Structure 1
Amino acid sequence: MDINTVAQNEIISVIVYTFVAFLLMALVLILFFYFSRKKIVQQEVEKRNLEVQYQKTLLHSVLVTQEEERKRIAQDLHDDISSKLNIVSLNSHLLTTPNLTEEEIAEISTNIINLSSKVLSNSRRLAHDLLPPVLEKFGLHAGVKELCLEFNSSKAVAVKYENHIEFDIDENQKHLHVFRILQELMNNSLRHGKSTEISISFEKENNANYCKYSDNGIGFDIHKLENQRGLGMKSIESRISFLNGSININSQIEKGTQIVFNF
């Protein structure tokens, strides 16, 4: 075999080996991309499942909260308003009793007037809880301002409120969630946190609306599951989700609570 033939055979061998090497590399790359893609798809599916589960949890919390609110309203209607109206009805029938003295008529009439006034006051309070008239007519700023005045009037807590945002009254439906979040936070600060001072401020940063909330209460351990899973906290998270916002909570025992959420 001459030198040319040997050289040709070596070239052919090199070409074959190179081709086989490229095939193996291509196969390895294909397998790598296949399994990588499969893993990415699996991760995406798991992520989507977690998101669906989270949305289901939030929806469940909303339904539970709504059911609790309905029960409270039904209880108020039955135990308070309905019972007083029954007494008004009975007193009204008493007025038809023959031979009543002027003193008896005056006493019965006074009872009717007093009870009717209480029913009217309670029905207004119930309507205010469902949808604050000030919020509906004048927007979020006016609604929160009135809410702060109500808490301040209790003398149990001092609320400081600042607003640096012009709210669009046409977005009241969305802003109602913000109002309810603050209502829940303030109730928690007063009832559970034993707070004497609350601070609320609205600020605009990077084209997003932010609410900064803090109190000087006893605080809580945010890592405890019972604090994370409380009905109030789930309700707040569900409202934040509806607002396409996010919330950051910082609290320590005896160091109060600081909360920032955007909407």
Structure 2
Amino acid sequence: MQLKYKILTLSVLPLIVSVLFICVLVFAQSRTLEEEQARLVESSIMAAKKAELKNYLALAVSLIAPLYDSGRDDDEARRQALHILSRANFGLDGYFFVYDRQGKNLMHPRQAELVGRELIGMRDRNGLPVIQALLDSAENGDGFQLYSWEKPSTGQATDKLSYVVMLDRWGWMLGTGIYIEDVEVATSKSRQEVAKGVLTTMLAIASFSLIAVLVVFTGGLTLNVTEHRLADRKLSALNRRIVHLQEEERSRVSRELHDGISQQLVSIKFQFELAGVELEHGRSAGLDNLRTGTARLGEAIGEIRRISHDLRPSLLDTLGLSPAIEQLVREFEQRTAIRTQYQCGLDVAQLDQDLSVTLFRIIQEALGNIERHSQASAVFISISKIRRRIALRVQDNGTGFDPGLLERSAGIGLRNIRERVEHHGGSFAIVSRPGHTELQVEIPAPRARTGRA
């Protein structure tokens, strides 16, 4: 996978993972909220229904209170009470029922077939002994009991909440109940509302996430196209520069060969031809011309060595960086008469070949600029190690110049130095004023660069 696609993937993938995590978290929290809200709705409705049942049962007790409070325990009084209760009802499925302590049904206005039957062992669809549970709740509990019972209006078994009390003197359990399928409807509706809200939230998160992904993708694509165009322009400029530098170097070598070596060799050829002619005629001057030609041949050999040294100093390969710089400094002093001092404060043997060539070429380019432009009388060169970085300083006491103007002009020599330094991940700066110009270069030491890599 190409680097640009990796970067794009690393930009989008964390966003997608974060969105998925948020969605999972929202879903989990929504489930908890859904259950809590359903329980809250159910408890609220059940509390209201319990209060309603107490009111209904209080009304039933008040209807038979004249008979019960009269102290009568005869069958007629009880028959009249059962008749009153059988006629009292509320709503479509609201009625009162009466059982004795043995679980015998004494009155049931909606299911007459149950009257007179012993129902103490009767169980609902969940296996609960209904009548026994109602008796226990009336005598020892709060009077409320939840169970399953046939609903008169539908004939279907439905959950029912009943409230019962004991009429101790008559031995009756009087109760009533409400079918609570509406509780299930309310809780189901509550869950649906929560689920709908969660779905809306998830869709909103997904929409915003999709927009964000599209924005990142579009931005990455735009940046990719822009970087491609910029890279193409830089590559074209680099190719032109390489061709220009190659042609410039070839022109320089060609000029030096033509203006120096070529003319010297032609002069030597003429000198030897003249010496040959004079020696053929027995003239002693031929020997002098031969000596002169030989001396000029030595000069030509020296010029060839100088050109070869400029292209690639042999001492750099054989003895190392420091001797090569010392030779460069001696030749610079001899050629320009500028007093030059070189100081080395690190073990250059630890430097790799590539870094050694870089430092040598920077010093060579700096000395060339000093020779051509500075009008200096003294130069100081130092190489040292500062905080795991190699520091190179080249100072002169020349006329100075405006570094900003040099930056804008983008000279070839300055660009060469900058690119060599940046290749090693270093920094490059020039400080200049009349009487003091300093080239400052700092490059990570080889061990530091290896560790960072």
Contact 1:190/1:196 (<8 A) preserved = no
Deviation at 1:27, TM superposition (A): 1.7
Q: When you count strand as a share of all residues, which structure comes out higher?
A: 2
Q: TM-score, normalised by structure 1?
A: 0.81
Matches within 5 A, 1:13-28: 13-28=193-208
Distance 2:228 2:388 in 1: 28
Q: C-alpha root-mean-square deviation of aligned residues, in Å?
A: 3.2
Residue 370 of structure 2 aligns with an amino acid whose one-letter code is S
Figure out how many residues of one structure are paired with residues of the other and give that number.
261
Contact 1:65/1:235 (<8 A) preserved = no
> What residue in structure 2 maps to residue 66 of structure 1?
246
Residue 283 of structure 2 aligns with an amino acid whose one-letter code is T
Q: Specify which structure has the bigger relative contact order, considering alpha-carbon pairs within 8 angstroms and separated by 6 or more residues.
A: 1
Distance 1:150 1:239 in 2: 24
Q: CA 1:70 to 1:43, structure 2 compared with 1: closer, same or farther past 3 Å?
A: same
1:120 correspondence with 2:301 = yes
112-121 vs 152-161, greater mean Cα deviation: 152-161
Q: CA 1:207 to 1:46, structure 2 compared with 1: closer, same or farther past 3 Å?
A: farther
> What residue in structure 2 maps to residue 111 of structure 1?
292
Residue 218 of structure 1 aligns with an amino acid whose one-letter code is T
Which one of 226, 234, 240 corresponds to residue 415 of structure 2?
234
1:185 correspondence with 2:384 = no
Corresponding residue SS for 1:199: strand
1:77 correspondence with 2:251 = no
Unaligned runs of 5+ in 2: 1-180, 445-453
Contact 2:343/2:383 (<8 A) preserved = yes
1:129 correspondence with 2:277 = no
Q: CA 1:220 to 1:25, structure 2 compared with 1: closer, same or farther past 3 Å?
A: farther
> What residue in structure 1 maps to residue 281 of structure 2?
99
Contact 2:274/2:289 (<8 A) preserved = yes
Which one of 177, 195, 213 corresponds to residue 33 of structure 1?
213
Distance 2:380 2:266 in 1: 43
Unaligned runs of 5+ in 1: none
Q: CA 1:90 to 1:190, structure 2 compared with 1: closer, same or farther past 3 Å?
A: closer
Deviation at 1:192, TM superposition (A): 1.9
Q: CA 1:163 to 1:43, structure 2 compared with 1: closer, same or farther past 3 Å?
A: farther
Distance 1:146 1:109 in 2: 32
Q: CA 1:160 to 1:92, structure 2 compared with 1: closer, same or farther past 3 Å?
A: closer
Q: CA 1:131 to 1:194, structure 2 compared with 1: closer, same or farther past 3 Å?
A: same
Contact 1:194/1:217 (<8 A) preserved = yes
> What residue in structure 2 maps to residue 244 of structure 1?
424
> What residue in structure 1 maps to residue 325 of structure 2?
144
Deviation at 1:4, TM superposition (A): 6.1
> What residue in structure 1 maps to residue 377 of structure 2?
196
Q: TM-score, normalised by structure 2?
A: 0.50
Residue 364 of structure 2 aligns with an amino acid whose one-letter code is Q
Contact 2:336/2:371 (<8 A) preserved = no
Distance 2:257 2:412 in 1: 23
State the Cα deviation string for residues 125-144 of structure 1 (Å, max 9, x = none). Answer: 22221222322221011111
- Percent identity between the two aligned chains: 23
Deviation at 1:211, TM superposition (A): 2.1
State the Cα deviation string for residues 68-98 of structure 1 (Å, max 9, x = none). Answer: 2221222222222122222222232233434
Contact 1:199/1:213 (<8 A) preserved = yes
Contact 2:389/2:442 (<8 A) preserved = no
Q: CA 1:2 to 1:171, structure 2 compared with 1: closer, same or farther past 3 Å?
A: closer
223-232 vs 135-144, greater mean Cα deviation: 223-232
Distance 1:258 1:175 in 2: 17
